[in-house]
Amino acid sequence: MEAGVLSAILGVVMVQGGTAIQDLDLQKIVGFWREVGVASSQNLALKTPKRLEALFLTLSGHELIVKAAYNSSGSCETEKIVSSEIDVSGTFIFPGHREIHVIDTDYEQFAILRLSLHWQGKDYHVLKYFTRSLEDEYGPGFWRFREMTADMGLYLVARHGRCAKLLKEELI
């Protein structure tokens, strides 16, 4: 049960190491992103029945709005999360002591994010690899992600998800 609660709180979370990119172009980061890879030294962050499959990012004034699509034990769920702060260095602050740092992106094909969460007195960190495509998993950012996460121990390539496909179709 604790893993399910943590995953619901983590929502969108990232990994230790690396620094956010400088001068993130917020207009270029918006749009559809499918989660392809997850790495964490904390097993709890990877063993959750509620798995993120995709994000759709939009900007509204000074807020980043994240529409997240999850596979929750076989059912698709969506959640809308609004940032409380945006920093052009690639850091986004969300309610619930959650932060997202854009570690690397080419804006067109991939993004590598570090999610951080402070929950029950502990810090949790997860690195996530996203692509714009529903099919391509081994683009140019994949090998960078593998290199960044090689010493983390736990690594997962996300399964093709119908929830990601539904989110992309819904927003087109």
What is the model's pLDDT at position 79? 92
Of 47 and 4, the one with more pLDDT: 47
Q: Torsion angle of alpha carbons 162, 163, 164, 170, nearest 10°?
A: 110
Structure tokens at 151: 């010493």
What 3-state class would DSSP assign to 63?
Answer: strand
Residue 8 has pLDDT above 80, yes or no: no
What is the model's pLDDT at position 12? 38
CB atoms within 10 A of CB 85: 12
Residue 34 has pLDDT above 80, yes or no: yes
Share of the chain above pLDDT 70, in %: 77
Q: Torsion angle of alpha carbons 138, 144, 146, 147, nearest 10°?
A: 150
Give the end-to-end CA distance of the chain in Å, rounded to a whole number.
35
Tell me how far apart the alpha carbons of residues 120 and 9 are, in angstroms, rounded to a whole number.
Answer: 11
pTM, two decimals, is 0.79
Domains and CATH numbers, the chain: 2-171 (2.40.128.20)
